[in-house]
């Protein structure tokens, strides 16, 4: 499973990445966290507000920083 953090590297994007890394660590699942910073790629995924979180290419959230607990819920839904 691949968790994608979509954003250009702002403070909120970094906070979302930290939440995702914490979620992955807490549930000990086989996930990789990848940062997507290319604006064309972000827009091609239909995201107009960053930060955004996608799992295996499916956008789950845009425009806000999610808690590790919420990201964990999304991961479990996709297992």
Catalytic residue list: 10, 13
Among 34, 18, 36, 35, which residue's Cα sits nearest to residue 26? 18
Pair 55, 1: CB distance under 8 Å? yes
């Amino acid at each position: 499973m691949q968790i994608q953090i979509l954003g250009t590297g702002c403070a909120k994007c970094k906070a979302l990445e930290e939440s995702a890394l914490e979620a992955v660590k807490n549930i000990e699942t086989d996930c990789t966290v990848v940062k997507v910073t290319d604006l064309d790629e972000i827009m091609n995924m239909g995201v107009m507000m960053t930060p955004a979180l996608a799992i295996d290419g499916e956008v789950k959230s845009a425009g806000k920083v999610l808690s590790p607990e919420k990201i964990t819920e999304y991961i479990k839904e996709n297992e």
